[in-house]
Amino acid sequence: MIESVSIIVPVMNNQNTVVRLVDEVSTALDGHSVEFIFVEDASTDGSLEVLVQMAGRDNRVQVVINDRNLGQQASIHRGLVQCSGEAVVVMDADLQDPPNAIPILLQGLMDGPYDAVFAARVGRYQSVPRMCSGMVFRFLMRRLTNLPKGAGGFVIMCDHVAADVAAKKGKWFYLPGLIGCGDHRLHAIPVERSIRKSGYSAFSSSMRWKTGFSNIAAVLQERVFHAKR
């Protein structure tokens, strides 16, 4: 039985959703000990102020502050170093990753038994061009790694997987790809991803391409030097 769960959330201009995220995750994981690790990635809105206020009134909330914008994956890496739960969830701050899916992923982790369970993205949650480019990228990832079909960034993993990935050193970091390069037992459960609740994506088309190439580089780096696949 998994009793403690860490929730790692990279934050970039998400002041309108982080409070609701804590409320919805708390409801979804009622009965579990939960810690929230928000990694604030140099937001230009009021995200930092909102997070600091939450941390002041809720001792489950930790805030890791990046002095400059490091990007989503580097922020996730910093959160992994801080977490202490028996299971670790990584999710977006914008509520496109539905909190009510976490108990389903958690049950899948325990029932497998698996080392990590991904939310396989289903549903129309972004524009057609972005949906298509995402499908191509995930296809490439499956060819390079042991990732299950549909695996994305919304994932729950055992503490030993989190510790293994947190210890990775290198110029590039991409969480799903690094998990998929190991000898972990992996699974994916279909989860409908929601339309963005507030604001807009911080990723322009050029940023998406740049991020995609760096994520592929992270996997190639891992396969060349460390991978067991």
Instruction: Inform me whether the pLDDT recorded for 210 exceeds 90.
Output: no
Residue with tokens 């991904």: 118
Say if CB 131 and CB 149 are below 8 A apart: no
Position 31 confidence tier, pLDDT thresholds 50, 70, 90? very high
Q: Which fold has domain 4-225?
A: Spore Coat Polysaccharide Biosynthesis Protein SpsA; Chain A (3.90.550)
Q: What is d(CA 175, CA 39) in angstroms, rounded to the nearest whole number?
A: 15
Using CA of residue 9, residue 162, residue 29, residue 110, what is the dihedral sign? positive
Q: Up-side HSE of residue 227: CA atoms within 13 Å toward CB?
A: 16
Say if CB 87 and CB 183 are below 8 A apart: no
pLDDT of residue 222: 87
Among residues 22, 7, 119, 9, which one has the least CA distance to residue 75? 9
pLDDT of residue 174: 94
Cα 100 from chain centre: 15
Structure-block tokens of residue 143: 């060819």
- SS3 assignment, position 29: coil
- DSSP letter (8 states) at residue 20: H
Kind of pairing between the strands at 116-122 and 155-158: antiparallel
pLDDT of residue 146: 92
Residues contacting residue 140 through CB under 8 Å, at least 6 positions apart? 216
Q: What is d(CA 204, CA 229) in angstroms, rounded to the nearest whole number?
A: 33
The answer to which of 18-27, 137-146, 185-194, 204-213 has the lowest mean pLDDT is 204-213
Residues contacting residue 27 through CB under 8 Å, at least 6 positions apart? 99
pLDDT digits (tens, 9 = 90+) for 182-195: 999 999 999 988 76
pLDDT digits (tens, 9 = 90+) for 101-128: 999 999 999 998 899 999 998 765 555 5
The pLDDT of 61-80, averaged and rounded, is 97
The pLDDT of 47-66, averaged and rounded, is 98
